[in-house]
Structure 1
Amino acid sequence: MAGSTAVDALPSLLVVDDDSRVRTVVSWQLASEGYAVREAADGHSAWQHIVDERPDLVVLDLSLPGLAGLDLLRRLRERGDRTPVVVLSGRSGEGDRILGLDLGADDYLVKPFSLGELAARVRSVLRRSNDHLLVHPRGATPDERSGLRIDPTTRDVVLDGRPVPLTAREFDLLAFLAGHPRQVFTRAQLLEQVWSSSPTWQSEATVTEHVHRVRQKLGRALIVTVRSVGYRLEP
């Protein structure tokens, strides 16, 4: 990423809560854990931040003005965005917890909660999310130190033990597909997810060109073309 600093390399979190006191203490705790933390006080500003900044994880309160937390979560998952979400809620009922998890929350914490437990949940969810980006191509045996490894924190890509230099956008494209193995995405969906754009504003040929360049650098057809549909990553 152009202009990145050491701070930019930290995992980025978005804390969304309409209570400024909750935002402050949660942000302070997570910042002390070594994360780069941003805040949002309502659902609409949180949505815009997620689309523009693509945080590594969202801590999301359900009781938000404007766009409610569950509606924001539903909108994210319906567009195929798998950004990890830890839900905070004052609703302790089992039905609310099940609904949140069914909509795609990665974890659910009921208020009042321990800041230490929240930090532990965040670490766990990020660890699981990063594990999904470890891809081993066909033919690799368990004792071979080969395969494709993507590190979302350092933005490094290693293939069969050798580093692969990618541009920022090539990395974003590869990491997104690797995070959804075998799932097929159209060029329009990839424009929306990776470029935060649409065919109205940017040509789908942009996606085709970037896929071609990533394939050249990886040296193998990990990214499969699904005729008349789009692309998928085949681990």
Structure 2
Amino acid sequence: MNHIAIVEDDNSIAEMLSFHMKAQGYQVTHFADGEVARQNLLRESYDIVLLDIMLPNCNGLDICKELRQKNPSIPILMLTSLDGEADRVIGLELGADDYLTKPFSMRECTARVKALLRRSQLAAPVEEAIESVDEKLSIDELNLDAGSRVVCMNEVLIELTAREFDLLFYLAKNAGRVYSRSQLLDAVWGYSHDGYEHTINTHINRLRNKLKRSNGKSEFIQTVWGVGYKFYRPDEDGS
């Protein structure tokens, strides 16, 4: 049984989330205080965290950053206010996998939770990107192993979130092909995100920071202006 941590100080929202998550068969633990949640999340093990930003005693963004440093693979779904655009972007940059804007439907929330859990548990890897859980890719100094979800560059382990790995593997497997943000959202996130294209931007930026090259070659993930992104092919360098 998956164990969900709900960190939300609005009791009506927390009760609604708890009711629907329990109805899906999940075990639920609720925290209304930010500092209490922070200490517990760093100490105990959960399968996914639904994390509000505005919390008493400890900001949800600070919790996200600290939790991501301790546990790179745990799925984090941020809960944000309608006018909290900056907070949503910061949350994604700090390592959140996805976000929901209040007010949100329980149907959409449940879909997001299920999608995040599937990817973190490898029950359903990205279908178009990973045909076999044993598949491996090697491009220049970058090596990806779908079975172990391990990424190494120059034999140094690169820690990625589950969503970052899926996005990187999808692009790398289809190196040279250009994808729009909406195509990447559909393929990697598994459902439409109308107006959520900047989710891709923040994940791409995080991947680029983690995969910086020291040999002066082009970045692994390249921007195609007006279209989207692609993963470079070695022959594009003329090498």
TM-score with structure 2 setting the length: 0.52
Shift of 1:81: 3.5
The reply on whether 1:122 has 2:113 as its aligned counterpart is yes
Label 1:132 to 1:184 Cα distance change in 2 as closer, same or farther (>3 A).
farther
Unpaired segments of 5 or more residues in structure 1? 1-9, 139-146, 150-177, 186-235
* 1:153 counterpart residue number: none
Moved more, 126-135 or 92-101: 126-135
The equivalences for 1:37-186 within 5 A come to 37-131=28-122, 136=134, 178=148, 181-182=151-152, 184=157
Contact 2:2 / 2:27 at 8 angstroms: preserved in 1? Answer: yes
Deviation per residue, 1:18-54 (Å, 9 max, x gap): 1112111100001101111111112222122223321
Q: 2:33 is aligned with what amino acid?
A: D
Give 1:14's aligned amino acid: A
One-letter amino acid of the structure 2 residue matched with residue 55 of structure 1: Y
Look up the SS of the partner of 1:105 in the other structure.
coil
1:145-170 deviation line (CA, Å, top 9, x unaligned):
xx997xxxxxxxxxxxxxxxxxxxxx
The separation in 1 between residues aligned to 2:10 and 2:52, in whole angstroms, is: 9
Q: Is the 8 A contact 1:76 1:82 kept in 2?
A: no
Change over 3 Å in CA distance of 1:103–1:132 after alignment to 2: farther
TM-superposed CA distance for 1:133, in Å, is 9.8
Give the secondary structure class of the aligned counterpart of 2:115. Answer: helix
Deviation, 1:95, is 2.6
Aligned partners of 1:31, 1:74: CA distance in 2, in Å? 27
- Give yes or no for the alignment of 1:16 onto 2:20: no
The number of equivalent residue pairs is 141
- The AA in structure 2 aligned to 1:62 is I
Q: CA deviation at 1:130?
A: 1.7
Rounded Cα–Cα distance in structure 2 between residues aligned with 1:50 and 1:39 = 11
- Output the amino acid matched with 1:84: P
Alpha-carbon contact 2:41-2:67 (below 8 Å) kept: no
The whole-number CA distance in structure 2 between the counterparts of 1:93 and 1:64 is 14
Cα distance in 2 for residues equivalent to 1:125 and 1:53? 19
> Unaligned regions of 5+ residues in structure 2, if any?
126-132, 137-144, 159-239
SS in structure 1 of the partner of residue 38 of structure 2: helix
Instruction: Provide the C-alpha distance between the structure 1 equivalents of 2:31 and 2:84, rounded to a whole number of angstroms.
Output: 26
**Partner AA of 1:82 in structure 2:** S
Output the CA distance in 2 between the equivalents of 1:29 and 1:100. 24
- Describe the shift of the 1:49–1:96 C-alpha distance in structure 2 as closer, same or farther (beyond 3 A): same
Instruction: Indicate the percent of aligned positions where both proteins have the same amino acid.
Output: 37
Matched with 1:28 is 19
RMSD: 2.8
